[in-house]
């Protein structure tokens, strides 16, 4: 993350230190509070996904501008020493090399730098085709259930979810929802259960074992379609 925006982040850090060391004005306190609030907003979830840091960029840009304003030709009050010029050059080269890889070999770079995003994008693109497959093998009145987080499948298949908790975060935060979901599935009997808890994004251990019992008792394995395992309800 630092390498992608190295000049901005380094300048923002130095700008913040200089702001804290100088005599404060009311506007300075506002800027420090803004920067601190941005960082707190990123940290409070405890996950630190790259896109969370976007909310800190406006404050970082202003802090970097405080430092840059001191050395702007014709406007700044100081002449940039050689050490500053060397640092700016080094950070700029680092950012240029890092970003050039993303442009010259985007798929390979994304797969290496952000594998979760890479595979999520692939799954999102294939969800439309998976939804079309399910729509072709069900009727409009049928229900389906996706075990995982690919809830867009319901939209592309144009089929209703068979249970209230159709996004698997609920099972981690409230284990009672697993039993409630199993009960709903046994009562509703969806035509398809789509298991999208699959490698490389997930491991079999991420799937609650209660679902394995349901699948073995009431469903037949139809096959692996795009990124998910499909299970079709057993004939009565």
Question: Is 221 among the domain residues?
Answer: yes
**pTM tops 0.95:** no
The whole-angstrom separation of Cα 209 and Cα 111 is: 30
| Contact (CB, 8 A) for 5 and 98 | no
Both 123 and 229 in one domain: the answer is: yes
Cα atoms found within 13 Å of the Cα of residue 185, Cβ hemisphere only: 28
Question: Is 1 among the domain residues?
Answer: no
Both 130 and 204 in one domain: the answer is: yes
Q: Among candidates 144, 157, 234, which has minimal Cα distance to 194?
A: 144
Report CA 1 to chain centroid distance, whole Å: 14
| Contact (CB, 8 A) for 153 and 146 | yes
Of 51, 81, 113, the domain-final residue: 113
Mind listing the pLDDT tens digit of every residue in the chain (236 residues)? 566 788 888 889 888 988 888 887 888 899 999 999 999 999 998 888 878 889 999 999 999 998 888 777 666 566 777 787 788 788 888 888 878 877 887 777 777 777 787 888 899 999 999 999 999 999 999 999 999 999 999 999 999 999 999 999 899 899 999 999 999 999 999 999 999 999 999 988 888 999 999 999 999 999 999 999 999 999 97
Of 113, 137, 168, the domain-final residue: 113
Both 159 and 73 in one domain: the answer is: no
Encoding tokens for residue 195? 């298991």
Question: Can you give the residue range of the structural domain that contains 16?
Answer: 6-113
Q: Report how many domains make up the chain.
A: 2
Going from the C-alpha of 68 to that of each of 10, 21, 84, 89, the distances in angstroms are: 11, 17, 11, 14
Both 143 and 170 in one domain: the answer is: yes
Both 162 and 211 in one domain: the answer is: yes
């Amino acid at each position: 993350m630092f390498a992608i925006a190295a000049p901005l982040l380094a300048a923002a850090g130095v700008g913040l230190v200089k702001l804290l060391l100088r005599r404060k004005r009311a506007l300075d306190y506002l800027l420090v509070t803004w920067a601190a609030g941005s960082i707190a907003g990123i940290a409070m979830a405890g996950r630190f996904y790259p896109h969370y840091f976007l909310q800190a960029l406006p404050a970082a840009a202003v802090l970097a501008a405080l430092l840059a304003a001191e050395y702007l030709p014709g406007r700044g009050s100081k002449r940039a020493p050689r050490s500053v010029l060397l640092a700016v050059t080094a950070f700029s080269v680092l950012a240029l090399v890092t970003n050039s890889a993303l442009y010259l070999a985007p798929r390979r770079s994304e797969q290496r730098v952000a594998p979760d995003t890479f595979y999520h994008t692939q799954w999102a693109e294939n969800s439309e085709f998976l939804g079309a497959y399910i729509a072709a093998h069900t009727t409009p009145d049928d229900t389906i259930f996706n075990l995982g987080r690919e809830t867009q499948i319901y939209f592309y298949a144009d089929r209703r979810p068979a249970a209230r908790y159709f996004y698997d975060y609920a099972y981690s935060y409230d284990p009672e929802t697993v039993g409630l979901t199993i009960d709903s599935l046994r009562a509703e009997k969806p035509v398809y259960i789509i298991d999208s808890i699959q490698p490389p994004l997930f491991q079999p251990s991420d799937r609650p074992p209660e679902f394995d019992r349901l699948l073995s008792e009431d469903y037949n394995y139809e096959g692996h379609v795009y990124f998910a395992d499909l299970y079709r309800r057993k004939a009565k």
